[in-house]
Amino acid sequence: MSYGYDDDSKRKKSMVIISISSVLLISMVVAVTVGVTLNKSDSNGNSEDTEITPSVKAVKDVCAPTDYKKTCEDTLIKNGKNTTDPVELVKTAFRITMNQITDAAKKSQTMRELQKDPRTRMALDQCKELMDYALGELSNSFEELGKFEFHLLDEALINLRIWLSAAISHEETCLEGFQGTQGNAGETMKKALKTAIELTHNGLAIISEMSNYVGQMQMPGLNSRRLLADEVPSWVDQRGRRLLQAAAPYSDAKADIVVAQDGSGQYTTINDAMKNVPKKKNTTFVVHIKAGIYKEYVQVNRSMTHLVFIGDGPDKTIISGNKNFKDGITTYRTATVAIVGDHFIAKNIGFENTAGAIKHQAVAVRVQSDEAIFFNCRFDGYQDTLYTHSHRQFFRDCTISGTIDFVFGDAAAVFQNCTLLVRKPLPNQACPITAHGRQDPREPTGYVFQGCTIAGEPDYLAVKQTSKAYLGRPWKEYSRTIIMNSFIPDFVQPQGWQPWLGDFGLKTLFYSEVQNIGPGAALASRVTWAGIKTLSNEEILKFAPAEFIQSDAWVPGKGVPYIPGLLDGNPTVATTSPSQAVASGFSSFTDTNGAESVSPTVSPAVSPSVSPAASPAGSPAASPKGLVDVDSNESYSMA
């Protein structure tokens, strides 16, 4: 067998490259999320009796790996003008789809203006916002694909799968907004989105098939862009490099904007400062938010990329709100802080939602930013505290408190050296900690908790016998959560995991526990659902941060402690110290950046109570099902 690059081998290689690039382009068409409707086939036509033309065959080949083949084929055949050129097919379908998205957005706006129900108006407005996000992602991705390089193909495929998963989340979040609304607007939008949802899942299927194929090729150079641990991404400017290269909890670098309630900065509110944040610039922009409780709602828009928030400490700089589902607001819109712009970083800040127990879902932070980083932050709330909506996220040395599903969403998120703090719920309500929302088994999303500590506030510990805690439950059918090298206390039930409703998702979820410690870590009495996984050493590596969220390319050099792989030796659990001082009983936690963090020398049964002063007591819950042997007077699920 010849291994030389003769003319024949060069031609074959060129065909492979052309084929891959063409399918990548096609994948973007089927990823469009809004507005495509299919005309019914002519009643006299029968595709099975019709001779297959070259153009139809090309479409069928593209649609082969999809779940909704008819939707895929009918869409491309109808609009393809009999072309066999994949690029021309994509361009034609792309133009038509863009027009349909615009029409759908206009229709949504018209429906909103005719609605008298405030919740329905909000839901329609939410759908329009999510359509705009999907359209923006489509345009950016299409542009990037036009200039991709072969040696970056693997990276491009990963990014596309993340984007398609985000598109799926956008669609589902649109429909979830109609929970509790009046009239038939929700059903109308569901019908309008049916084809778009199928097309998006088809796109993910095509990209996943390509990823599998590229993986099998084992061609050299595909991953040559992977960064070394000490490298800084190219988009970080020289000033940003100086700011971020020092891996320390606090930075004394001069900020671009200072917010201070006492008037010592340029602005006294965060929102006033946000008006002066540059738009669509690939340069680091730092906002120093001095100590204080900022009672305002903050949104980092999509155009605000590479933005850094630095506070004076998670117990000193606090952004506080109280929007909630009970008061007529969709869960998506209850967030005190919403982060959409990519490459966002937050350090030393507290985020809270103080809505209270009777207010149901109330989000402290919603994160849609890709490659977002949170270091030494607190997220305090009750039900639905931290909404990890979509894309890739990294949390280090953070504390998240709550009662019900207080870490939820469909992101690919890694929590390293974090504390999950269970709070007292309403009487006789269970406390599932996580609720991941993966809807398609091809999505590269999920939760990984690495070196974390589960703990309880004193008020919760007093009622732990009647308000039982669980590691999580499946919000969506393919929910995925891995807990490794972490401390699990005795109040986590021996079963470990809680069903959502009946047997929903129990066969399709993906839950695993790896080398955890603590009185609640024993696996002997865990549930034995088909979706509970025992991972091999090779499989565990797939969930290390560098592999799972490609964090080597965007976390190093950001002034954040970071371990790209698995923890060595015995599992070391950690809890967050809100300052640079190492807490009593804690030892140094070494990482690849040489920064200091903290880790308990002896695993604590509980962590200190560090609730914000204004935090309410209690929380509603989704009704405990199956394994929960307590009663609940009310039943709520996430909207």
200 lies in the same domain as 243? no
In a domain, 153, yes or no: yes
In a domain, 230, yes or no: no
Q: Are 251 and 276 in contact (CB under 8 A)?
A: no
299 lies in the same domain as 404? yes
Residue 74 pLDDT > 70: yes
Q: For residues 445 and 167, give the distance between their C-alpha atoms in angstroms, rounded to a whole number.
A: 13
456 lies in the same domain as 360? yes
Q: For residues 135 and 357, give the distance between their C-alpha atoms in angstroms, rounded to a whole number.
A: 37
Question: Can you give the pLDDT at residue 607?
Answer: 33
As a whole number, the mean pLDDT across the chain is 77
User: What's the pLDDT band for 142 if we cut at 50, 70, 90?
Assistant: low
181 lies in the same domain as 260? no
In a domain, 629, yes or no: no
In a domain, 607, yes or no: no
Q: For residues 548 and 594, give the distance between their C-alpha atoms in angstroms, rounded to a whole number.
A: 22
159 lies in the same domain as 263? no
62 lies in the same domain as 188? yes
In a domain, 392, yes or no: yes
| 182: phi then psi, degrees, rounded to nearest 5 | -100, 155
**Top-confidence range, 113-127, 138-152, 533-547, 586-600:** 533-547
In a domain, 228, yes or no: no
Q: Are 68 and 198 in contact (CB under 8 A)?
A: yes
512 lies in the same domain as 433? yes
User: What's the pLDDT band for 102 if we cut at 50, 70, 90?
Assistant: low
244 lies in the same domain as 202? no
User: What's the pLDDT band for 352 if we cut at 50, 70, 90?
Assistant: very high
Write out pLDDT tens, residues 474-530. Answer: 999 999 999 999 999 999 999 999 999 999 999 999 999 999 999 999 999 999 999
Q: What is the CATH number of the domain that holds 521?
A: 2.160.20.10
Average pLDDT over residues 337-346: 97
| Burial of 599 per CB tally in 10 Å (0-12, 13-18, 19+) | buried
Q: For residues 72 and 76, give the distance between their C-alpha atoms in angstroms, rounded to a whole number.
A: 6
Is 125 catalytic? The answer is: no
CA distances from 247 to 72, 226, 242, 528 (A): 48, 20, 11, 42
Question: Can you give the pLDDT at residue 30?
Answer: 36
Residue 196 pLDDT > 70: yes
In a domain, 562, yes or no: yes
In a domain, 224, yes or no: no
Residue 396 pLDDT > 90: yes
333 lies in the same domain as 473? yes
Q: Which of 154, 405, 440, 591 is catalytic?
A: 405
Note down the domain range covering 545.
238-272+285-600
Number of domains within the chain: 2
525 or 597, greater pLDDT: 525
Question: Can you give the pLDDT at residue 49?
Answer: 45
121 or 298, greater pLDDT: 298
Mean pLDDT is lowest, of 35-49, 304-318, 400-414, 577-591, for: 577-591
Residue 69 pLDDT > 60: yes
Q: For residues 94 and 105, give the distance between their C-alpha atoms in angstroms, rounded to a whole number.
A: 16
Nearest CA among 109, 128, 108, 122 for reference residue 331: 122
What is the model's pTM?
Answer: 0.80
250 lies in the same domain as 209? no
CB atoms within 10 A of CB 22: 17
Q: What is the CATH number of the domain that holds 73?
A: 1.20.140.40
91 lies in the same domain as 133? yes
371 lies in the same domain as 503? yes
Average pLDDT over residues 271-296: 94
